[in-house]
Amino acid sequence: MTKKRDFLDLDAIDAKTLCKIIDHARDLKKKNKKLLEGKTLAQIFEKPSTRTRVSFEVGMQQLGGNVVTLNSNDMQLGRGETIADTARVLSRFVDIIMLRAYSHNTLLELAEHSTVPVINGLTDHSHPCQIMADILTFEERLGNIKGKKIAWVGDWNNVLVSWIHAAEKFAFDLHIACPKELVQATSGKHLKFCESPAECVKDVDCVVTDTWTSMGDKNPDLRRNLLVNYQVDEKLMALAKKDAIFLHCLPAHRGEEVSAAVIDGKQSAVWDEAENRLHAQKAIMVWCLDN
Ligand code: CP
Ligand code: NVA
């Protein structure tokens, strides 16, 4: 038997495969196919979710499969049953598992002990499904992302980590403006660290941001103080290329990381971005189960 295909992080999957998944997502968006008839997805949530939960559920239904949605607190997991035992048991009932967890180690442990593919639906470390949808969205608007310039302005979080992985895999330049107190050690030949949001967005094709306080983050007041000059507003967007787009994984906080004028304005692609979670994840699930 070939090794099961987990979708845990973009840096663990080869670039050609990621591009093929994006191409397939584009095809499935044009014409749905019932490629997973009779398959069952279990999705487990340790944290709240709107987009991930609904897009995986609807996506699996459109592919002809079934879905079991579980809140970790309603499972024996919440009473101390181990991740390993949960993985072994779920593997006897379902064909694929998606997990949204606090600790990335929880995801890795689930994948290690599960005999069916596991998908990362966000952890404190990363959010790879989101960035697959973001790349699909970027390419719908502005063509192949290879060689393009993307600016990240704001907190150092799970969404940024997956953008950093994607920059290496899809060969685009990622400019990062983040307060030095929040920056985490990383390196990559496609990364550029910027002193200011203005330097970061100059002549880029796309500006991206996210909430200043992610689920599970402590000290929202401290973070707000550090990030107060990092709001993406019209003045900042005006420094990017004329046809640049704005992306945000949502949920958004107007007046904090982004102004209402930008997120609700002409350059914003956030509603397509949210819809594309559905198409990207359908292609991800098909890839996971196609071996
Ligand atoms: N962007 C995203 O993952 O949204 P949810 O938290 O609503 O799933
Ligand atoms: N960085 C955010 C993303 C939400 C989809 C969080 O982890 O809360």
The pLDDT tens digits of the residues spanning 174-194 come to 999 999 999 999 999 999 999
Identify residue 155 by its one-letter amino acid code: D
Q: How far is the CA of 54 from the centre of ligand 1 (A)?
A: 9
Q: How far is the CA of 205 from the centre of ligand 2 (A)?
A: 23
Determine the length of the chain: 291
Q: How far is the CA of 49 from the centre of ligand 1 (A)?
A: 5
User: What is this structure's pTM?
Assistant: 0.97
Q: How much is the pLDDT for 11?
A: 98
Does residue 129 have its Cβ closer than 6 Å to ligand 1? Answer: no
Q: Residue with the nearest Cα to atom 7 of ligand 1?
A: 50
Mean pLDDT score of the chain: 97
- 8 Å CB contact between 96 and 287: no
Q: Give the Å distances, CA to CA, from 128 to 9, 198, 228.
A: 6, 27, 27
Contact residues of ligand 2, CB 6 A cut-off: 122, 157-159, 210-211, 214-215, 249
For the chain, percent of residues with pLDDT exceeding 70:
100
Average confidence (pLDDT) over 132-161: 98
Question: Is the Cα dihedral 161, 163, 168, 172 positive or negative?
Answer: negative
Which ligand 1 atom is at minimum distance from the Cα of 52?
Answer: 8
Is the predicted pLDDT of residue 2 greater than 80, yes or no?
no
Domains by residue range for the chain, with CATH: 10-127+277-289 (3.40.50.1370), 128-274 (3.40.50.1370)
Q: Which long-range contacts (CB under 8 A, 24 or more apart) does 266-275 make?
A: 267/237, 269/137, 269/138, 269/141, 269/245, 270/246, 272/137, 272/140, 272/141, 273/133, 273/134, 273/137, 273/247, 273/248, 273/249, 274/51, 274/133, 274/250
- Residue 1: pLDDT band (50, 70, 90) is low
DSSP the chain: -PPP--B--GGGS-HHHHHHHHHHHHHHHHS---TTTT-EEEEEESS--SHHHHHHHHHHHHTT-EEEEEEGGGSGGGGT--HHHHHHHHHHH-SEEEEE-SSHHHHHHHHHH-SS-EEE---SS--HHHHHHHHHHHHHHHS--TT-EEEEES---HHHHHHHHHHHHHT-EEEEE--TTT------TTEEE-SSHHHHHTT-SEEEE--SS-TT---HHHHHHHHGGG-B-HHHHTTS-TT-EEEE-S---BTTTB-HHHHTSTTB-HHHHHHHHHHHHHHHHHHHH--
Output the 3-class SS for 41-107: EEEEECCCCCHHHHHHHHHHHHCCCEEEEEEHHHCHHHHCCCHHHHHHHHHHHCCEEEEECCCHHHH
**Which ligand has an atom closest to residue 134 CA?**
1
Q: How much is the pLDDT for 177?
A: 98
The pLDDT tens digits of the residues spanning 251-281 come to 999 999 999 999 999 999 999 999 999 999 9
- 8 Å CB contact between 245 and 263: no
Average confidence (pLDDT) over 220-248: 98
Is the predicted pLDDT of residue 291 greater than 90, yes or no?
no
Q: Would strands 149-153 and 206-209 be described as parallel, antiparallel, or unpaired? A: parallel
Which ligand 1 atom is at minimum distance from the Cα of 127?
Answer: 3
